[in-house]
Structure 1
Amino acid sequence: MHTQTMILDIQRQFPSVPGYLSACTAGLPSFATTAALRAFVDEWSTGRMDARRISAQVEQCRALFAGLVGVAAERVAVGTQASQFASVVATAVPDGGEVLCVAGDFASLTHPFEQLSARGVRVRYVALDRLADEITAATSLVAWSHVQSASGAVSSAEQIRAAAEGAGALTCVDLTQAVGWLPVDAGDFDITICHAYKWLAAPRGSAFMTVREGLESRLVPLAAGWCSADDPWSSCYAGHTPLAQGAGRFDLSPAWPVIPGTVAALETIAGIDPLLSHEHALELANAARSGLDMAPGDSAIVTWPDVDGTDLAAMTRAGIVASGRAGNARVAFHLWNTHDDVAQLIEALGR
């Protein structure tokens, strides 16, 4: 099938929202996701909500996400927020250890590590392009976003991973701004974290963590509860609260209303060739860069300086949904976007 025909078939699964250039803030729900959310509300409002079925849907989410990032399902923990998982990762940092992070990275990843100062843990920030070079024998953990939220910059993940391995440091990669448009293999890293409401177009409130086999014992399940067992329904009460054998021990009690929509969202994305998603996003992003007199790039997120917000205001007036972060204007291109969106952007900015 011709690539453009495949893209059109994919776009029919999503609502048409001209000028929506904000997948990096929140994805658009597919029609299947919207239907699943509405069905949940209908069932809930008529007393037909089935908690055990939702538990089964959590397992569907685990398996679907595992397939998207190339790991076994038992390597995946299911939760609600990226920062909650980062807090669990922080428990693996020894007293007096160093956590190496990227300057300007998203706070949900970095802030939990800053709370370790009472244990003598130091968080050191360096530029993204210096991250691999700055790893030393004193580094206990390297934590970074594979795609930076504020700039859209894509990390040299393999180079960083290799440097960390050579120094004996753990790696924790936030994939929130990557999975869904950028093919990744979570198995390359010790730990990955991903919130699903951006490029995976799920409802906000579903997040995932992958943990390399054998690493479970180095992490403390700080928020362990009844869902942290292999069989939550037999672990509801004190006296029998075993931890799951795999990464499920780090599961958090799910936000029930978002789980059916997350299943639908992940099924939608899982049914799309990731290389096609990547190619489409980069094609549009680089068409936008060309129209804005910028050099080609490798990210689906396009940013440029806009300290006073003039360009963001112009885009908003033109009906474009964009964002401003850290003094930059920011747009993003995903499956639902077309070249018409690029033309609308260029016209709005008078280029």
Structure 2
Amino acid sequence: MGMDIAGVQGLWDPMPGWLDTASYGLPPRPAFEDLQRALADWRVGRTSWRPWNDATTRARAAFATMMGVPGEDVMVGATVSQMLAPVASSLPPGSRVVLPEEEFTSNLFPWAVSADVRTVPLDHLAEAVDAGTRVVAFSLVQSADGRLAPVDDILSAARAHDALVAVDASQACGWLPVDASRFDVLVCGAYKWLMAPRGAAYGYLSPRARAGMRPTAANWYAGSDPGGSFYGPPLRLAQDARAFDLSPAWFCQVGAAPALELLNEIGIEAVHAHDTALAARFLTALDREPTGSAIVTVDFPDAERRLEAAGIRSSVRAGKVRASFHLYTTPDDVDQAVKALTA
């Protein structure tokens, strides 16, 4: 059972009208305050870096719990493209990767650099997977319009042809319940629905995926004993997903750990119910059908100007207004946005 959302909304301090978590999430107060303390300590040299590094360990564990996977299968990084790069660059030359044509480029360009990329409409992705497909890659939730991928169909097709499945879950983790173990690779930028500072990202790398990967950004933090990996040979990397870690951006991790832990305490099922109910309230009031996503798009005349004039912060994607609803969003935020569009 998750916590009552209304009972925890006081942990955030949003200006009314923030409907743009799909661009960046707002930190809960414990995360913001931990970050302020770390910055104050940094300013005067009050502490070593080790407490900041401990936050990385906490964040990794919290992400693993949220994704339902072992911590040793989780890597720590900074961005989606950086985490996908060693997967893509380890593919044999000429490997075919199939992706949606609408895909956000952080999960397209790394493959295009190293492989033979074929794009098709998301709705036809499963049928495009064939015997020549090495990897099928896609976002669980599309950035542009909030559509949920047909995961079961894509997984069935990939398994039938022994293709690896790599997903970008940046627009899903934090509101959509996700079992990362269903995939070979899952990566997530944490600054959206996980409400962390930008510069923290996490990835699930299955043993199957790791077997074919080269740790092209190997560093001391990826060592089997990071504290004993500062100087000199030989190469001595961790035997699990930590071999692919980046040396962490400390302050991003300081802000990430409390946010991820709070999400686990609340429960993603409860967050999902809250976020999608608000999205449905928004669409229903505009005579649109609810989509089951926390990210929605609407095409209204002069919508961007109307929302801006009312103090509603959202995004425009592909010519449509994109609105997104998360823990700190209230029914009043939704109703004010509807009023601005329909007045």
TM value normalised by structure 1: 0.94
Aligned to 1:254: 248
Residues 91, 218 of structure 1: 8 Å contact kept? no
Look up the match of 2:118: 124
**Cα deviation code 1:125-150 (max 9, x no counterpart):** 11111111110111100010000000
Partner of 2:293: 299
Are 1:236 and 2:233 matched, yes or no? no
Task: Please name the residue that 1:40 is paired with.
Answer: 38
Match of 1:15 in 2: 13
Contact (CA 8 Å) 1:101, 1:142: kept in 2 or not? yes
Q: Return the alpha-carbon distance in structure 2 between the equivalents of residues 325 and 222 of structure 1.
A: 34
The 2-side partners of 1:92 and 1:145 are apart by 21
Equivalent residue of 2:126, what SS? Answer: coil
Shift of 1:239: 1.0
Deviations 1:314-338 (A, max 9, x none): 1111101100112221000111111
Which of 262, 268, 292 aligns to 1:274? It is 268
Query: Which residue pairs with 2:137 in the alignment?
Result: 143
Query: In the TM superposition, what whole-angstrom CA distance separates every residue of 1:30-89 from its partner, at most 9, and x where no partner exists?
Result: 000110110011110111232222332211111110001000000000011111011112
What secondary structure sits across from 1:263 in the alignment? Answer: helix
2:94 to 93, 96, 99: 96
d(CA) in 1 for partners of 2:35 and 2:234? 33
CA distance in 1, matches of 2:122, 2:104: 13
Q: Gaps spanning 5+ residues in structure 2: where? A: none
1:69 to 58, 67, 87: 67
Q: CA deviation at 1:170?
A: 0.2
Paired AA for residue 83 in structure 1: S
Q: Does the Cα contact within 8 Å between 2:5 and 2:266 map onto a contact in 1? A: no
Q: Which residue of 1 aligns with 2:320?
A: 328
Amino acid aligned to 2:6: L
Superposed displacement of residue 245, structure 1: 1.0
Q: Please state if 1:133 is matched with 2:131.
A: no
**Counterpart contact for 2:278–2:334, Cα < 8 Å:** yes
Q: C-alpha distance in 2, partners of 1:218/1:305?
A: 44
Name the aligned partner's letter for residue 85 of structure 2: S
Q: Report sequence identity in percent.
A: 39
Task: Please report how far the alpha carbon of residue 240 of structure 1 lies from its aligned counterpart in structure 2 after TM superposition.
Answer: 3.8
For residues 321 and 184 of structure 1, the distance between their equivalents in structure 2, rounded to whole angstroms, comes to 28
Matched AA of 1:26: Y
Task: Give 1:24's aligned amino acid.
Answer: A
* Structure 1 residue 272: Cα displacement: 0.9
SS in structure 2 of the partner of residue 115 of structure 1: helix
Q: CA deviation at 1:93?
A: 2.4
Say if 2:156 is the partner of 1:162.
yes
2:127 is paired with a residue of what secondary structure? coil
Divergent runs of 4+, >6 A: none
CA offset digits 1:73-108 (Å, max 9, x no partner): 000000111110111120242211111011121111
Q: Which amino acid aligns with 1:339?
A: P
Among candidates 166, 174, 181, match of residue 172 of structure 1: 166
Equivalent residues of 1:226, 1:241 under 8 A apart: no
- CA offset digits 1:185-233 (Å, max 9, x no partner): 0000000000100001001100011011243220111111111113211
> SS at the partner of 1:302?
strand
Q: Secondary structure at the match of 1:49?
A: coil
Counterparts of residues 77-88 of structure 1 (less than 5 Å): 77-88=75-86
Q: SS of 2:298's equivalent?
A: strand
Amino acid at match of 2:171: Q
Tell me the distance in 2 between the aligned counterparts of 1:238 and 1:314: 60
CA distance in 2, matches of 1:273, 1:265: 12
Determine the C-alpha separation between the residues in 2 that align with 1:272 and 1:82. 25
Say what the alpha-carbon RMSD is for the aligned residues. Answer: 1.6
One-letter amino acid of the structure 1 residue matched with residue 318 of structure 2 = A
Residues 294-321 of structure 1, C-alpha deviation per residue, up to 9 Å, x if partnerless? 1121110011236xx8212211111011
Give yes or no for the alignment of 1:222 onto 2:220. no
Residue 207 (str. 1) matches residue 201 (str. 2): yes
What is aligned with 1:348? 340
| Cα pair 1:150 1:328 within 8 Å, conserved | no
Unaligned runs of 5+ in 1: none
Opposite residue 20 of structure 1, the aligned amino acid is W
What is the SS of the residue equivalent to 2:108? helix
1:183 aligns with 2:177: yes
